[in-house]
A and B are shown apart, each in its own frame.
Chain A
């Protein structure tokens, strides 16, 4: 008979060993697997008798009944309890856990840890790195505890990137999106996602220990969407039209192709280039380059560089000049400034604002020659300007003065400078102590006769005494007429002028002179025109200003001054630099096609690759000449022009087909060889 015992249920941990025979004991095993069989019941004593308590399921009270001393007379046979389902499961889990523990203990031991935790092979370029610690430097010995400790460190992207940029030079802002400077980023209208506010880790895109170090093109496009959202997702559909591409980016040189082709090359075909490649070539990176000035422009623009074809105005750039003042009014108002050239009509040279930055703002140039309506305050300001100017010139003549002054008087010899100052202010040396003591000498106008005698010129880079025209060879030339023509500016610009005016200009008699002064008496002996004399450029003194005339293309002085104060120059300034060079970009580059702007460098267009295509036979397939001139002389590129190739079918519609994430970087710093040292043999030979 099968006994319906309670421990047949699956939840019991142990099963009676006799259950298999159909005779399980009454009590069954305990939870620890000990056999619980002793007797079939535990008799109870009621009044004076012991009674059997065997359950009905096990046959009820036995006929024999308990012994007189209260023991059950049915002794259960013992057994070896069998583990039940739950117990088996528990044992199985325990064994598994033990095996895992042993496995982990062995694996995590420092001896085996690197092999145990091997995350996969490195990408091919890093294959020479064989030790974890070469990159994971903070886990110095790559020990489990060091790794555990690192896991709780706050994320430090800069430190993380350091491992990469120690070899891959990425500039100062490697942590920023596109390595852009904070200033550039601030200009961007795109918000940086919160997740990348602290920077972007190299490993976000370049995953090591996996098949590809570089993300595939689809992944690259996906990454772009983190900041550049849907509107730019696919080229054919979402990319905006090229409204001003590439015109906006090419702005260092203002070259109007349409104007040159239609007008200049048509008028002077002998100077016209045969084809685009006469001026442009494609470099090894597929970037178009422009031939230099000497190869492409000089044949036509040489005269511009030397300011030879300027019709009006000085051909040099006035660096130091003495402004003309209404001396009579100053005298009448007891404004003491000492000696001052009576006939100077020079405006206040803006260079003075760089040299004398503390000088108060004064009246306009026009009003300086007529101060009758000036207020006492304005007169005081003029006095300050005049005295500051004198003090500054004196200092300059003595010791070259400050660095600022030196920058504005590059290649001007001290002797030439002294000569110019003596010409303008003969008694300056005696005036300076009085000015310094706060009691400037009374205002005195220097007579024109005195000045005329003292006018002289200087020669570029000369350390000798100023050139004495009286002793010069020019006037001793055999062909005196020709020499005089040259000296008196017999060129196209002057030829058109009234001869009388030209002579007046030469001798400093400006027809628009104010102050109701009498006309200048002509000098007794013809003086050479210093401006004409300095045709090849350099410093020269003319009347009340020291001029500098361009010495050729890329004149070092003009380049420096343009860089410092581009607002002082215009297209007609000496050298005519700004006729072609744009100052829109603060003259960040003098060369054409220098793609310095961050936005430009993040777009790559391989001209060589495109020019090799069958259906593109010349530049004008893409760069069409517009009907009306614009800055560049080209129509902007049209998106439609690209769609033939950059579409879904060709899979060239990804962002990365044209755009780079990284700003161009030139080289890998292999000087940081420490990472690779571990992969060399003791003989220093590289392991394969």
Chain B
């Protein structure tokens, strides 16, 4: 509903901006002056979304409506920016930073929109949905459970295969990092290899050991899922780091840009 509303309002905004741009081109003045100020207005309106999140105790409307408004303004922001700079590339360090921060804001914003629409679904599909802060504790508990399961069996039985596979593969896997970089490098190969290894071993051990291996396999899978959860939640949160920090840079640069424009061209001789 929010997305549909956003798309509808965005289309209306595009029409309005197109009309303004056409009108401004028919004036003997720089259209950049008009669309520059519209661009700045959109930026301020986009920042209101952040303030709304901070002032969540005030009755300022539903967040989903604010999100729709944010998306509409973002559309206007992107379109107005394209009107403002056209196809030209910046020159000079300051303009380059301004251009870069603008581009970062737009890219991270688009990426955020994509991630916020896809990752929650994936997180939901994984099954278990602990908050990111709890995942280390859950992992820790998982390691303890795995150790207790194995040790409980080994107290009464001797099993070289179980001992070997736990020490060489399962335990390191449970201790391994869930960082995004590791996941990108590994691409689930370790997990798949470990599961395959456990399943292969199941053919050569007795029933009791098979039960232990099945439990350990479940724990390995859970650890894998917790890792996926951690990474997705981390991405879902940390894209905002880039987005908000680039907005800060953009705001500062735009204010300076406005002063420079008026200082050099309009006010100054």
Residues of A in contact with B (beta carbons under 8 Å apart): 2, 8-10, 12, 15, 19-22, 24, 84-85, 88-89, 92-93, 96-97, 100, 103-104, 107, 115-121, 136-139, 146-156, 159-160, 162-163, 193, 195-196, 200, 203-205, 207, 209-211, 219, 222-223, 225-227
Contact = CB atoms under 8 A, between A and B. Distances in A.
Contact of A139 (B141, B241, B264): B264
A78 B115 CA distance: 38
B156 to A, nearest CB: 25
13 contacts: A8-B133, A10-B131, A22-B137, A103-B97, A115-B93, A119-B95, A119-B264, A139-B263, A146-B263, A147-B260, A151-B267, A209-B91, A223-B26
Is the contact region of chain B dominated by helix, strand, or loop, or is it mixed?
helix
B137 A147 contact: no
Q: How large is the interface on B (under 10, 10 to 19, 20 to 34, 35 or more residues)?
A: 35 or more
Contacts of B245: 92-93, 96
A189 to B, nearest CB: 18
A9 B97 contact: no
A196 B141 contact: no
Given A24-B137, A159-B269, A120 B92 contact: yes
Contacts of B92: 115-120
Contacts of A137: 269
B93 A100 contact: no
Given A2-B138, A226-B27, A89 B240 contact: yes
Contact of B26 (A92, A204, A226): A226
B35 to A, nearest CB: 14
A155 B267 contact: yes
B256 interface: yes
B125 interface: no
A418 to B, nearest CB: 63
A89 B241 contact: yes
Contacts of B248: 93, 96-97, 100
Contact of B268 (A97, A103, A150, A193): A150
B132 interface: yes
Contacts of A159: 269
B88 A151 contact: no
B21 to A, nearest CB: 11
Most buried by A among B137, B144, B259: B137
Interface in B16-31: 25-30
A154 B88 contact: no
Given A137-B269, A150-B268, A193 B27 contact: yes
Contacts of B138: 2, 22
A121 B91 CA distance: 8
B55 interface: no
Nearest to B91: A120
A330 B161 CA distance: 156
A153 B95 contact: no
A142 to B, nearest CB: 9
B252 interface: yes
Nearest to A114: B92
A19 B97 CA distance: 40
Contacts of B37: none
B22 to A, nearest CB: 9
Contact of A96 (B90, B249, B267): B249
A15 B136 CA distance: 11
Q: Pick the 7 closest A-B CB pairs, nearest first.
A: A118-B92, A147-B263, A150-B268, A20-B136, A151-B262, A153-B267, A22-B137
Contacts of A96: 245, 248-249
A160 to B, nearest CB: 6
Contacts of B208: none
A234 to B, nearest CB: 13
B208 to A, nearest CB: 27
Interface in B218-269: 237, 240-241, 244-245, 248-249, 252-253, 256, 258-260, 262-269
A120 B249 CA distance: 21
Most buried by B among A85, A154, A204, A210: A85
Contacts of A120: 90-92, 95
B132 A20 contact: no
A115 B26 CA distance: 34
B26 A119 contact: no
B268 A107 contact: no
